[in-house]
Chain A
Amino acid sequence: MRVVVQEAPFDFGAEAEAFASGRSDLGAVVTFTGVVRDTGDAARDRMEIEHYPGMTEKALAKIAEEARTRWSLGDVLVIHRYGALTPGEKIMMVATAARHRKDAFEAAEYLMDYLKSRAPFWKKEFSGTDTQWVAARDEDEDALKRW
């Protein structure tokens, strides 16, 4: 299990390639990558992600550990960035490896649902001279209920 919180970009290809490599017992690897989206109407110049150093790492590790107790996983990877990001940049990725795909898919979805609403990150959007904090969505909170 590896949890990384960093400001710098990460190399998705290299991370995906290295993840669970050499583990021929794990027949399924799922990766998910979050990318900064351009909003439909107003151009989003950039985004700044604030986090809570110390708690962030603990919260992510706790979420990953919980996934390991719920599903049969061979390995888990979570990388989440903070700081300034522009549209098209990768914000975060999760990877899960399991013997079978169902565990890998479900665990990846669980990780995503929880780190949206339970990991201490806050996004601020910058569009021209406008700035605003991204509000948490009710759907994201509701998504936790299915687990």
Chain B
Amino acid sequence: MDVLYFAWVRERIGHPKDRIETEAATVNELVAELRAREDRYAAAFADLSALRVAVDQELTDFDAPLAGAREVAFFPPMTGG
């Protein structure tokens, strides 16, 4: 599975993408695995209310299932327009 990071989440983690093998059933379980990796991941995922998540390029919630997902992206609230 590809895990992508954008904006300050990318900066805090230090790279734009991880390719990982995971058994995580939900986004929340994936976040728990990422937090456990290193301090910079724990810092990036410290406050989930400041983050949004997309699974296979569709916005969703942190309790969304990951069955069959190929790409998960984490980023701050969007500022388009």
Residues of chain A having any CB pair with chain B under 8 Å: 34, 50, 52, 54-55, 58-59, 80, 91-92, 112, 115-124, 133-136, 141
Contacts and interface: CB of A to CB of B under 8 A. Distances in A.
B8 A133 contact: yes
A2 B79 CA distance: 21
Contacts of A122: 6-7, 75-76, 78-79
B78 A55 contact: no
A115 B73 contact: no
- Specify the main secondary structure of chain A where it touches its partner: mixed
B8 A121 contact: no
Contacts of B73: 52, 55, 120
A52 B5 CA distance: 9
5 contacts: A50-B7, A55-B54, A112-B81, A118-B80, A122-B7
